[in-house]
Each structure stands twice: as structure tokens, then as C-alpha cells.
Amino acid sequence: MDKPIFNGLLHTGQPDLEALYRVGKIPLYARNSFAGWDDPLGMPTTAWYDAFAAGVVAPRKLVMLDHESWPYATQADRQATAGKYVTLYQQIKQRRPDLRIGWYTDPLRRDYWRAKKLPGAIEYKAWQSENNDLGAIMAPFTDVYFPSVYWFYPRTTHPMEADYLSTYIHENLSEMKRIRRTYGRAEAPIYPYVWWNIANGSDVPMPLDMWETMVRVTLDEADGMVLWGGYQTPWDENAPWWVTIKARLTDKRRTG
């Protein structure tokens, strides 16, 4: 079955991808999206929750909350962070039961170096244990999973790492599925965030063959995906990353 591709793009002047291709918008909300959540290590106030419930715009009823300030260093940190997500979920659902809510990356802690060690390795098991600390608490309070499979290593400086791109995506999505299967709800879809740029602050695009690999493996192994990128960038219909995506969007009958 054709899997959905969602729009998390930030370009100026982008066309109506929903109308053209049924690429539905998944909005991102964060602490500063509304007033009333001043302490990034703390929790929102009632005013923030109320403003969120009144102000959220989610045409597909899918919402991604991005909060990357809570700690993860120790098991106690991870469990406390997961508990905060549960509170977020419960407070939002009380006000907006119609929304399907997910979190950027969590409960999966995106990993490359340990993931490439493969299952059974000590490092891999340690990574799984950290994910368990989060998933056991917050997966039941997650309607949709939004892991990130951004790529960080230029082929020019890390030529050997490029060969592990497929492995990296596969192992992160396999671990996401394990968390869902063990702690979550089977019907909660997995929609990874993908980005055509190398995520090292350079704003340099990935080589096209690597971007095509990211798209292919993600769509093969997840339930769909979310396109991210384009901050302060005008839309370019001929951008290579978009040509790759558009080839999969033959008409607006696609699923989603």
C-alpha cells in the first residue's frame, strides 16, 4: 500500500501540497508556541494548556510537540522526563480529545554509534535499556510516533559511515517498533521525520543517492514519513530533494 508522506516543511511560498498530492500538514508546537510555559525544565501552566487547546491548527488532527530541554542523562532523569510527557498528554487530551499527539523523537532516543553495533552488542543493549526507561512510562500515552532519522556525517569527511545509512535507519525504526510492541498501542503509527540536509549545522544537502536511500528505507520500514526543512528558504520546485519526493506523488489519490 502507498504510505503517506506528510508536510512539516517551513519554506516560504510552498504550494498547497495537500490539494496537489494529499501531503497533509503535521504542525509542530513547542513551549514558546503559546504563553505560559516559561521554565524549559518545568511544566506548562493552565494558561498554556488552555491557549494550546484554543489555538492549535491541525487539519489532520495530528500534532507533534517538540520539547528538547528535559534531561536524559540518568535512568531517574529519563523516567522523570517520561512522566512529564504523560502529564502533557493527559492535560491536552482533557481539552482536545480529538487530537492525536506525538513527540519529537521520544520515546526513542535516536542513536547512530550504538545502533550500528547491531542487536546483542553490549552497547546496543544499553541503548535499548535507555529507551525502555522512556517507553515503559510514556508509550501508552503516545498516539503517533515521530522518531527522527536525520543524517549527520558528510561523505567527504566520514566516507565509511555513509555505508551504514540503511543500517542506522533500520535499527532505529526496529527499536521504535519494539517499544511500540512492548509498551504502546499497535495502532499507533510510526512517522519518522526526514531531512535532505546533513544535520550538522552546515545546511549542505546529502548526496542525492543517500537522500534517495533515506526515503526508500524509511517508507519501506515505517508507516509513512514527515518531510522537514526549508527554514527561511523559498520554495524551489526543481530542488533535487523535492524531485525525488515528487516522483512518489503521482497524483492526489495517494493514501493519507
| Alpha helices (H) along the chain | 17-21, 46-55, 75-95, 122-138, 165-183, 208-221, 240-246
9: which strand partners? 229
pTM to 2 decimals?
Answer: 0.95
Instruction: Give pLDDT, residue 249.
Output: 86
Per-position DSSP letters for 66-112, written without gaps between them: E---S--SSHHHHHHHHHHHHHHHHHHHHH-TT-EEEEBSTTS---S
Instruction: Identify the residue whose cell numbers are 506523488.
Output: 249
Mean pLDDT of 40-54: 98
Q: pLDDT tens across 53-105, in order? A: 999 999 999 999 999 999 999 999 999 999 999 999 999 999 999 999 999 99
Most distant CA pair in the chain, distance = 50
How many angstroms separate the first and last alpha carbons of the chain? 11
**List of residues 6+ apart from 205 with CB closer than 8 A:** 196, 197, 198, 211, 240, 241
Each residue's pLDDT tens digit, 9-18? 999 999 999 9
CA–CA separation, 22 and 7 (whole Å): 10
Average pLDDT across the chain, whole number: 95
So what's the pLDDT on residue 253?
45
Q: How confident is the model at residue 252 (pLDDT cuts 50, 70, 90)?
A: very low
Is 214 in contact with 179 (CB distance < 8 Å)?
no
Instruction: For residues 189 and 64, give the distance between their C-alpha atoms in angstroms, rounded to a whole number.
Output: 13
| Alpha carbon 204 to its chain's center | 20
Closest CA to 69 of 80, 56, 57, 55: 80
What distance lies between CA 217 and its chain's CA centroid? 15
Sign of CA dihedral 253, 174, 112, 28: positive
Of the two residues 133 and 253, the one the predictor is more confident about is: 133
DSSP 25: B
pLDDT at 250 over 80: no
**Cα 117 to Cα 114: distance, rounded to the nearest angstrom:** 5
Q: What whole-number distance in Å separates Cα of residue 225 and Cα of residue 191? A: 4
